[in-house]
Copies of this chain bind each other. A is one copy, B any other.
Amino acid sequence: MNLKQLSELLGLSQTTVSRALNGYPEVNEATRERVLQAVKETGYRPNKAAQRLATGKAGSIGLVMPTAPDHYSDVHFGEFLTGLGEEAVRHDFHFVIMPADPNDEVGALRRLAISGNVDALFVAYMRGHDPRLPMLKSLSMPFLVHGRSIGSEPDYPYLDIDNEAAFYDAARLLLQLGHTRFALLNGPGHLDFAIRRKNGLVSALSERGLSLPEDCVSHSAMTDELGQAAMERFLQMPECPTAILCSSTVLALGAIRAVNQAGLKLGEDISLIAHDDVLPHLKPENFSVPLTTTRSSLRAAGVRIAQRLIGTVKQDGPYPEQELWKTELIVRSSTGPAPRPDQNLGGV
């Protein structure tokens, strides 16, 4: 069944049917109803290839999927994709992925762009001075990045959360509670969000004349196991930190296991604030000691990014070029006043 057949069936012209289907105003509501009804009955679906040829829009957004273990083993990315997908389905858009060797992302991105299969590009996992940025700018194709790239001119469209403020605020809370010895359980050190979170923490500390020793910073992929390992190292330090900032609830999961195994009490001996991406299977309120968190939904970010990207392609913007979402600092029980200095923690 194609447009021609359908229009003949209805005794209308292709033009009218097409317009009825695409919501143009110059068609009688009664006619439109009749068309819609016929579509339902016949199961007519417009041919995508023809639509694409006629409009010049593929109805798709491209992304390169790095196949390094670090990346795809990342629960966070899946959650984000879910959001993207939800919104895309709503608009009948689809995703084209290009699996790529992690040290040829730029090439993969270019191939994807010139392949002619996509209308817009999306990139994530931004790093400092990210080499993909100049490449994206040189392309004449809309794109949107999730996150930012520290060290690059911020003249590109992005959606990011205010990582620096998040960790700055979290640190301030802990400082107010009297903590002075901090540690940071961060994501991979080359990623932009990790850099900014660290900066946020450092600047809150320096306002109080404190600093963050390098051995109190752990950079790793965000799995609970690595969180546990890092926390174990922190706990073995002679001057064990009492305030922990954690880049993910997944890392926190492991870290807390380490705390428990050391016989320490979360929220008493150790205060911990984690960034919460709102992963559906890992709710901070369900931890045995509910977690104080900085919250921002990764899935919502995915939805919003899809929205903007699709909007750009359909030209029904204008969308703000750059969005910086604030996070919410939600206090639960994993934070408490710093233990009195004479209390012994180290020797467990």
Contact = CB atoms under 8 A, between A and B. Distances in A.
A82 to B, nearest CB: 4
Interface string A22-57: 000000000000000000000001011110110010
A342 interface: no
Given A49-B49, A67-B79, A99 B117 contact: no
A151 interface: no
Determine how many copies of this chain the complex contains: 2
A89 to B, nearest CB: 7
Most chain B CB within a 10 A radius of its CB, from A56, A100, A115, A281: A115
SS class, residues of chain A in contact with chain B: mixed
Contacts of A81: 65, 67, 72, 99
Please tell me the size bucket of the interface on A: 35 or more
Contacts of A68: 78
Nearest to A62: B94
B115 A48 contact: yes
A321 interface: no
A69 interface: yes
A324 interface: no
A348 to B, nearest CB: 19
Contact of A69 (B84, B86, B281): B281
A75 B85 contact: no
A37 B75 CA distance: 47
A58 interface: yes
Interface string A82-108: 101110010010111111110000000
Contacts of A52: 49, 52-53
A15 interface: no
A78 B71 CA distance: 9
Nearest to A64: B85
Given A69-B281, A73-B74, A115 B92 contact: yes
14 contacts: A48-B115, A49-B56, A49-B116, A50-B53, A67-B79, A69-B78, A69-B279, A71-B78, A72-B72, A82-B99, A89-B98, A94-B96, A95-B98, A96-B97
Given A69-B75, A69-B281, A89-B111, 17 more contacts: A48-B117, A52-B53, A60-B96, A67-B81, A69-B78, A71-B78, A73-B73, A73-B74, A82-B101, A84-B99, A85-B99, A86-B99, A92-B115, A94-B98, A94-B115, A95-B96, A96-B96
